[in-house]
C-alpha cells in the first residue's frame, strides 16, 4: 500500500494517548478516499496502465520503458509534483535521478501543464518521527532524515513543536533542530496555558512523518501531510496536504475569482509591481487560506513565512506549500464559521486600525493634474455641482523632478493655499510618496538622500555600498525600513514637508519595492540568494525582476528574507510618523502588503484598466483583502489606465461607492473621469450614489469599529452569512456590507437589468422598503443606468444620516434609522459614535455605543363581552402583542449630545397601526401600502435612550 497514505500507530503516539492525545488511525476513509476498496484500486491501476500504453503507441515508444508498478498505483489526481522547476524540460532521466516516477500526461486545454509527469512514488524517503514528548503547551518531537534529498544543504534533524494555543487555534512549527534560521519578525501572541477543550485532534505518522488534523465534532480531516514527503533544505522547504473540499479562498495577492481553481493551479507569493491581470504574483504576499468544508464548517491555515513561495493546488483536492527560506510555521484556525476563522486569524496578526471618518468619504485623484491650480479647479467643480468629496489627492506631479519631499515651485506653487482651502471646507489632502530616494542631486542639495546616506539608512549591495536602482526620479537608493533609525529619518522628512504643505494622509506607492531595472544599475551578483537552487513561479522568472537584488543587505536581514515585508515596514513607519505629526488617527494607503498590515494602512488594488472585466475583478479583490484583515480596501474607480466610457464610469462609480475605500483615480494622458466631466444624467447618477454612501456612513463607520475591536469583516462574501447555502460559496459578483446590506452591481455593458442571487429570507429594497421573499434563488432586478440595487436583510437596523457633501457636514445632520423587520417582527442594529479622528477613542472610553432592538412585547388587555348595561356582562383578560423599538445606550460620551435621531422607517409592518407612541406619548406617523411605517420629527439626542411602540 502507498506509505504516504497509510498511517501507523506508534509507541510515541500510544504513550501520548494515555496522556490525553488521540491515537493515530490506520484506516480513516477520509485520508485516502481513492484507496478505499480493492476494486477501486484495481480500476485505478488498470486506467493508469491503459493511459500509459496509449501514450506509448501514439508517441512511437519515445516514452521509454513501462513505469514500475508502484508508480502505476498512484492515480493522476494524487500525483504530487517531484519536479516543479518551470525552466527545465522534465525528462525521464532527470525525474528518475530524483528517485521519482515518470509518466507523461496530456496538457490541459489551455496549454498548461496539468498532471505532473514526474511525481513521488509511494516509498520516497522522508523524515521519520524519532521522538514525541508532551510539553506544557502541547508536544515537541524530533524528525530525522536518513537519506539526502535532491536539493542542496538539506537538514538532517528537525524540531517539531505543536502548541494547543486555544480551543480553536493550533500552532505547528517545524525548524532546524540544531541551528537558528530566519523567522518573520511579526508580533504574535504568546500563550502561557494549553487549551483545555480543543475542538480538534492531532495525530502523527511515525515513518514517514506526517500530521493528521481532524475536527472532533465531525471527524473531518483538515490536514493530512502524509500524502507527499516533507522536504526541508536550506533554500527549499516543501510540505503537502489533502484538503477536505475544493472551496478554497485567499492566498493573495492575485487577480482572479474569489474561489480558487484546484485544477493544477499554482499561486506565487512574491511582491511585484505588475498590473493586475492574469494569475501571476502581484503587489502583496498573504500566505493564508480559508476553506469551506463540505458540511458548512470552515477553517483557515496561515503559514508565517515571508520568503518567496508558491502554493500548488491540485484536484485531489490538495495543495503543496513551497518556500525558499525561513521555517514552516503554521497556524490553523478552526472557526467553525468563516467569520470566526477570520477573527481568529486576526487575533494572531493583529486587528485593523480604526480609520478616521473622513477616510470613508469619497476620494478623488489623477496622475496628470498639470498644476495645483488644475487640481483646485477640479475641487471647485465638485463643489459647484454639490457632489460629495472629502479628500483630494495628488500623484507624483506635485514633486520637483519626482523627488520625495519636494514641491514643483512653478506648477504647484499654490498647493499650500489649496490645502488651506480644503481644510476650510472640511476636506482633506493626501500626497503620494515612493521609497526610492533620488541619488543624483549635487552633494548637499537634497537632504533626504544626503542625510540617509550619512546615517546608513539605505539598502546596501552585498559589498556594503548603497544599492542604486532606477525609479521615477532616475537613479535612486531605497530606504531600509527594517532599521528603526530609518523611521526617525522618515519622520523628520515628513515633518519638514508638512510644515510647508500640511497634508492629512499618505499614499505609499512603489513599495514592493519597485525598480525600473532588474536588481540594480549593475544587476545582481552571482550567488544563491539572487539565483537560488529553486525559484518559485514568479513573474519574470527571477527574484530580482523589476525589484532590487535578493542579496541586498538590510538592518534586520538580507532582502531575500525581507522583500515581502517591505510594504508592511514602510506602512508602520508612515503611520507612526503621521501620528506624531498630526496627533490624530493616521490615514495610509499602501500598494504592497503583508499579514498584519491592517494595523497600519489600507490598500488599493493597483494599476487596473478601464475595462468591464477589471471592474468585476475588483470585487473578489476587495473580498480577499477582507479575509486578509485589511478592510480599508478598494480599486481605482473607473480604472486607472485607459479612458472610461460614460456608461462604464457610471456603473463603476455605483460599485465604487460601496468599496470600503472609495477613490476615483486615473492615468496620465487619459481623459478625465471625475463626475464633473460627464453628461448631466451620468453626473446626477454618480452624485446620487455618493449621497447614498454618505447617508450610510454611520453604518459603515460602525462596521469598521467592529473590525477594529472584534476582527469582523466590513465588505464580506455572501457565504460568510449563509455558510449552509452552498450556492453562495462561489459568488463574487455581489457582496455584503456587514451582515445586513446586499450590493448587486451591474458589471456588463448595455443592460438595464441585473441578475443576482438572493439568499433565503425576506429582503427589503433599500430605497423604497418594498420586500422580496426568496427561497434562495437567482432573481432578475431592474437596473437602469441611474440605479444600483441595494437590499436590506430582514432582522436588521441600519443607522443612516442625512447626507452632506463632506463627512464633516454629514455627521452634524440628524440620524435616520431604517428598521427591516424579520418574519417574527424582530430586528437588531448598533451604532458606534465618536469624534471621528482622535486616537484610541474606544480604548480611552471616549465614544458612545448604542444598541437598537425591535421586539414583540406581551401585555395583558381586557375585552368586555356584552354591553356595559347588559346584565351578566363579563370581562376577559387576553394577551396582546405590542411592537416595541428600543434604543439602549451602553456607553456614552459628550459627542453623542451633538447629534439627534430625527426619524425612523420600519419596513415590513404587516398591519396598519392605529397609533405610535414615543416614550408613551402619541406621535404622528405615515403608513404606506408597501408596509412601511415612517415616523419623523423625533428630535431625540443620541445620548438618550428611548422606546417607540406601534399598536
Integer Cα distance of 527 and 529 in angstroms: 6
Q: Is 8 exposed, middle or buried (0-12, 13-18, 19+ CB in 10 A)?
A: middle
**Cell 463603476 sits at which residue?**
652
CA distance 763 to 774: 8
Residue 762: in which H helix or E strand, if any? strand 761-765
How far is CA 950 from each of CA 275, 656, 860, 881, 908, rounded to the nearest angstrom?
56, 38, 16, 10, 13
Alpha-carbon dihedral 621, 627, 630, 636, rounded to 10 degrees:
10
Q: In terms of Cα–Cα distance, which of 798, 810, 811 is closest to 905?
A: 798
Q: How far is residue 103's CA from residue 118's CA, in Å, rounded to a whole number?
A: 7
How far is Cα 253 from Cα 267, in angstroms, rounded to an integer? 9
For 120-168, list the strands marked E by DSSP.
Answer: 127-134, 138-145, 157-166
Site of grid cell 519597485: 514
Q: Which is the catalytic residue, given 163, 509, 830, 837?
A: 509
The yes-or-no answer on residue 374 being catalytic is: no
Burial class (CB in 10 A: 0-12, 13-18, 19+), 729: buried
CA distance 185 to 569: 10
3-state secondary structure of 691: helix
Sorted by sequence, the CB contacts under 8 Å of residue 892 that are 6+ apart come out as 848, 943
N-terminal to C-terminal alpha carbon distance within the chain: 73
C-alpha cell at 770: 418594498
Give the C-alpha separation, 810 to 803, whole Å.
Answer: 5
C-alpha cell of residue 382: 465638485
Buried b (16+ CB within 10 A) or exposed e, 570-606: bbbbbbbbbeebbeebbbbbbbbbbbbbbbbbbbbbb
- In the DSSP assignment, the letter for residue 325 is S
Q: Closest Cα partner for 608 from 518, 698, 670?
A: 670
Q: Which three three-digit cell numbers place residue 449?
A: 538622500
* Residue 521 known to be catalytic: no
Where does 521-610 show beta strands of DSSP type E?
588-590, 602-604
Q: Cell numbers at residue 293, please? A: 468544508
Q: How far apart are CA 248 and CA 261, in angstroms?
A: 8
Of 297, 329, 397, 512, which residue is the catalytic one?
A: 512
DSSP track, 617-664: HHHHHHHHHHHTT--SEE-EET-SBSPPPHHHHHHHHHHHTTSSSEEE
- CB-CB contact of 854 with 797 (8 Å): yes
Distance CA 833, CA 810 (A): 13
Catalytic machinery residues:
509, 512
Amino acid at each position: 500500500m502507498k506509505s504516504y497514505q497509510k498511517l501507523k500507530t506508534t509507541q510515541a503516539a500510544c504513550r501520548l494517548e494515555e496522556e490525553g492525545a488521540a491515537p493515530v488511525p490506520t484506516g480513516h476513509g477520509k485520508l485516502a478516499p481513492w484507496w478505499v476498496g480493492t476494486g477501486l484500486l484495481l480500476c485505478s491501476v488498470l486506467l493508469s496502465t491503459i493511459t500509459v500504453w496509449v501514450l506509448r503507441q501514439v508517441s512511437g515508444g519515445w516514452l521509454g520503458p513501462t513505469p514500475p508498478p508502484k508508480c502505476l498505483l498512484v492515480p493522476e489526481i494524487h500525483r504530487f509534483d517531484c519536479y516543479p522547476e518551470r525552466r527545465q524540460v522534465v525528462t525521464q532521466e532527470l525525474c528518475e535521478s530524483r528517485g521519482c516516477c515518470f509518466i507523461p500526461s496530456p496538457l490541459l486545454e489551455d496549454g498548461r501543464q496539468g498532471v505532473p509527469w514526474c511525481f513521488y512514488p509511494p516509498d520516497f524517503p522522508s523524515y521519520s518521527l524519532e521522538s514525541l514528548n508532551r510539553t506544557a503547551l502541547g508536544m515537541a518531537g524530533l524528525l530525522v532524515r536518513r537519506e539526502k534529498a535532491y536539493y542542496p544543504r538539506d537538514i538532517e534533524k528537525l524540531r517539531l513543536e505543536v502548541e494547543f494555543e486555544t480551543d480553536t487555534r493550533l500552532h505547528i512549527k517545524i525548524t532546524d533542530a540544531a541551528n537558528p534560521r530566519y523567522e518573520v519578525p511579526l508580533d504574535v501572541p504568546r500563550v502561557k496555558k494549553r487549551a483545555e477543550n480543543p475542538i480538534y485532534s492531532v495525530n502523527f505518522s511515525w515513518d514517514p512523518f506526517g500530521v493528521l488534523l481532524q475536527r472532533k465534532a465531525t471527524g473531518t480531516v483538515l490536514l493530512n501531510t502524509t500524502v507527499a514527503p516533507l522536504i526541508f533544505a536550506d533554500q527549499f522547504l516543501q510540505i503537502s496536504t489533502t484538503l477536505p473540499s475544493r472551496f478554497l479562498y485567499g492566498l493573495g495577492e492575485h487577480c482572479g475569482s474569489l474561489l480558487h481553481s484546484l485544477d493544477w493551479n499554482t499561486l506565487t507569493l512574491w511582491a511585484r509591481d505588475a498590473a493586475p491581470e492574469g494569475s501571476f504574483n502581484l503587489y502583496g504576499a498573504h500566505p493564508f487560506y480559508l476553506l469551506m468544508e463540505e458540511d458548512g464548517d470552515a477553517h483557515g491555515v496561515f503559514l508565517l513565512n515571508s520568503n518567496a513561495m508558491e502554493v500548488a493546488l491540485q484536484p485531489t483536492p490538495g495543495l503543496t506549500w513551497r518556500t525558499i527560506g525561513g521555517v514552516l510555521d503554521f497556524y490553523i484556525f478552526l472557526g467553525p464559521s468563516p467569520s470566526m476563522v477570520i477573527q481568529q486569524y486576526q487575533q494572531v496578526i493583529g486587528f485593523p486600525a480604526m480609520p478616521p471618518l473622513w477616510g470613508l468619504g469619497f476620494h478623488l485623484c489623477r496622475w496628470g493634474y498639470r498644476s495645483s491650480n488644475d487640481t483646485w479647479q477640479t475641487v471647485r467643480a465638485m463643489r459647484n455641482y454639490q457632489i460629495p468629496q472629502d479628500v483630494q489627492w495628488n500623484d507624483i506631479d506635485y514633486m520637483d523632478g519626482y523627488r520625495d519631499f519636494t514641491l514643483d515651485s512653478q506648477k504647484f506653487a499654490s498647493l499650500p493655499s489649496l490645502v488651506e482651502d480644503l481644510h476650510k471646507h472640511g476636506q482633506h489632502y493626501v500626497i503620494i510618496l515612493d521609497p526610492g530616494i533620488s541619488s543624483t542631486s549635487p552633494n548637499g542639495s537634497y537632504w533626504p538622500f544626503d542625510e540617509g546616506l550619512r546615517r546608513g539608512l539605505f539598502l546596501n549591495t552585498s559589498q556594503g555600498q548603497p544599492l542604486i536602482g532606477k525609479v521615477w526620479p532616475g537613479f535612486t537608493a531605497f530606504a531600509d525600513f527594517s532599521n528603526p533609525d530609518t523611521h526617525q529619518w522618515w519622520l523628520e522628512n515628513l515633518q519638514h514637508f508638512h510644515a510647508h504643505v500640511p497634508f492629512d494622509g499618505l499614499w505609499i506607492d512603489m513599495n514592493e519595492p519597485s525598480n525600473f531595472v532588474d536588481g540594480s544599475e549593475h544587476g545582481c551578483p552571482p550567488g544563491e540568494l539572487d539565483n537560488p537552487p529553486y525559484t518559485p513561479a514568479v513573474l519574470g522568472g527571477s527574484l530580482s525582476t523589476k525589484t532590487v537584488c535578493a542579496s541586498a543587505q538590510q538592518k534586520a536581514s538580507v532582502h531575500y528574507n525581507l522583500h515581502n515585508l517591505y510594504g508592511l515596514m514602510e506602512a508602520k513607519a508612515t503611520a507612526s510618523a503621521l501620528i506624531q505629526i498630526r496627533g490624530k488617527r493616521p490615514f495610509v494607503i499602501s500598494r504592497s502588503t503583508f499579514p498584519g498590515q491592517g494595523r497600519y494602512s489600507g490598500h488599493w488594488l493597483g494599476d487596473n484598466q478601464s475595462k468591464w472585466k477589471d471592474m468585476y475583478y475588483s470585487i473578489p479583490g476587495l473580498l480577499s483583502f477582507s479575509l486578509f484583515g485589511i478592510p480599508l480596501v478598494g480599486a481605482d474607480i473607473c480604472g486607472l489606465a485607459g479612458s472610461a466610457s460614460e456608461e462604464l464610469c457610471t456603473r463603476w462609480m455605483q460599485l465604487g461607492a460601496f468599496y470600503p475605500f472609495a477613490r476615483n483615480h486615473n492615468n496620465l494622458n487619459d481623459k478625465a473621469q471625475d463626475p464633473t466631466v460627464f453628461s448631466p444624467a451620468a453626473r446626477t447618477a454618480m452624485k446620487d450614489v455618493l449621497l447614498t454612501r454618505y447617508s450610510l456612513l454611520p453604518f459603515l463607520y460602525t462596521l469598521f469599529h467592529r473590525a477594529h475591536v472584534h476582527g469582523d469583516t466590513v465588505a464580506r462574501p455572501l457565504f460568510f452569512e449563509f455558510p449552509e447555502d452552498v450556492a453562495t460559496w462561489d459568488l463574487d459578483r455581489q457582496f455584503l456590507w456587514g451582515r445586513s446590506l446586499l450590493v448587486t452591481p451591474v458589471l456588463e455593458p448595455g443592460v438595464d437589468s441585473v441578475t443576482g442571487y438572493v439568499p433565503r429570507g425576506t429582503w427589503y429594497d433599500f430605497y423604497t422598503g418594498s420586500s422580496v421573499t426568496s427561497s434562495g434563488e437567482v432573481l432578475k432586478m431592474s437596473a437602469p443606468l441611474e440605479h444600483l440595487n441595494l437590499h436590506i436583510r430582514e432582522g436588521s437596523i441600519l443607522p443612516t444620516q442625512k447626507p452632506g457633501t463632506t463627512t464633516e457636514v454629514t455627521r452634524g445632520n440628524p440620524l435616520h434609522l431604517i428598521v427591516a423587520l424579520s418574519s417574527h417582527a424582530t430586528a437588531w442594529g448598533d451604532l458606534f459614535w465618536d469624534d471621528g479622528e482622535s486616537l484610541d477613542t474606544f480604548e480611552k472610553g471616549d465614544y458612545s455605543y448604542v444598541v437598537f432592538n425591535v421586539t414583540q412585547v406581551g401585555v395583558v388587555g381586557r375585552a368586555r363581552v356584552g354591553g356595559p348595561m347588559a346584565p351578566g356582562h363579563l370581562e376577559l383578560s387576553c394577551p396582546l402583542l405590542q411592537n416595541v423599538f428600543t434604543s439602549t445606550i451602553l456607553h456614552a460620551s459628550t459627542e453623542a449630545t451633538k447629534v439627534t435621531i430625527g426619524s425612523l422607517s420600519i419596513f415590513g409592518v404587516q398591519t396598519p397601526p392605529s397609533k405610535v407612541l414615543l416614550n408613551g406619548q402619541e406621535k404622528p406617523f405615515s403608513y404606506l401600502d408597501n408596509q412601511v411605517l415612517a415616523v419623523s420629527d423625533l428630535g431625540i439626542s443620541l445620548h438618550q435612550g428611548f422606546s417607540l411602540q406601534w399598536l
